[in-house]
Amino acid sequence: MELGASESELREQAITRLKKKRDFRTHLFMYVAVNVMLIVIWAITSDGGFFWPIFPILGWGIGVAGNAWDVYGRKPLTEEQIQREQQRLRS
């Protein structure tokens, strides 16, 4: 049975969202793993000195937060928004 155009488009949107979610989980796992490793290195080598891992934790954390917003916080474009933008482009 062949899917209609709207069902096909919905399927593509679902696949795209699932891939973005999977990629975000990978990004988050790598963020945690690398930063835990940096904290362990700091703990072994610093004797309680300056906590330098804070810089990659915060810097990379901004990227993780942006990625999370893209995956979970951003709402899809509505048809009304698309129509308004097309109207602006025509003007």
The predicted pLDDT at position 3 comes to: 46
- SS3 for the chain is CCCCHHHHHHHHHHHHHHHHHHHHHHHHHHHHHHHHHHHHHHHHHCCCCCCCCHHHHHHHHHHHHHHHHHHHHCCCCCHHHHHHHHHHHHC
Main-chain dihedrals φ then ψ at residue 84, nearest 5 degrees: -60, -40
If one counts the domains in the chain, the total is 1
Encode the chain (91 residues) as per-residue pLDDT tens digits. Answer: 344 558 888 898 899 999 999 999 999 999 999 999 999 999 999 887 999 999 999 999 999 999 999 999 988 888 888 889 999 999 8
The predicted pLDDT at position 61 comes to: 98
The predicted pLDDT at position 1 comes to: 36
Q: Please give the residue range of the domain that contains residue 48.
A: 5-90
The predicted pLDDT at position 82 comes to: 87
Nearest to 23 by CA among 83, 87, 67: 67
